[in-house]
A = this chain, B = another copy of it.
Amino acid sequence: MVDKKRFIAVIGGSECSPREAKLAEEVGRELARQGVILVCGGLGGIMEAACKGASSEGGVTIGILPGGSRQAANPYVQIPIVTGLGEARNVVVVKSAQAIIAIGGGYGTLSEIGHALRNGIPVIGLNTWSLSRNDQSDNSIILAQDPVEAVKKAVGSIKNE
């Protein structure tokens, strides 16, 4: 019987600012240092930066791709999962992780935050969406100030199963 590792997803846009990329790369590095397997959507931007960081520290990277070819994966994805599902692959990214770190992000990232919170999967946010309903803040997204804190909170939020 194998020891199943902890899986944490890093979500964010396929295009991002240099500052966001730096955050993502540092998150990737810190996940690898903690022995956590990185799950992401496998493309560029935040996803590529996080995979690059994880790889540089010898971590394992999984990219769950929307299209039909493994060729679309960023060069730091070690385990490409080819879904052909389009955006429905966002659900697979989320469900395959035990916690989520959202960095920046657009509406695709928002959909993933929704799917994660719907499933009771903790979401840690770095410069990402804030939510409110009927003028009341929803504080479900756990805020972090920097990559090391984000990883620490994500690892700490994983439920025993």
Residues of chain A at the chain B interface (Cβ within 8 Å)? 1-2, 4-5, 7, 37, 55, 61-62, 64, 68-71, 73, 75-88, 90-92, 95-96, 106-115, 117-119, 127-135, 140, 161
Contacts and interface: CB of A to CB of B under 8 A. Distances in A.
Contacts of A110: 110-111, 113-114, 117-118, 131
Q: In the complex this chain forms, how many copies of it are found? A: 4
Given A70-B161, A106-B118, A110-B113, A91 B83 contact: yes
Contacts of A140: 107
Contact of A131 (B71, B131, B135, B161): B131
Contacts of A107: 114-115, 117-118, 140
7 contacts: A62-B81, A80-B96, A81-B81, A83-B95, A85-B92, A87-B91, A131-B131
Given A110-B113, A114-B110, A129-B132, A81 B64 contact: yes
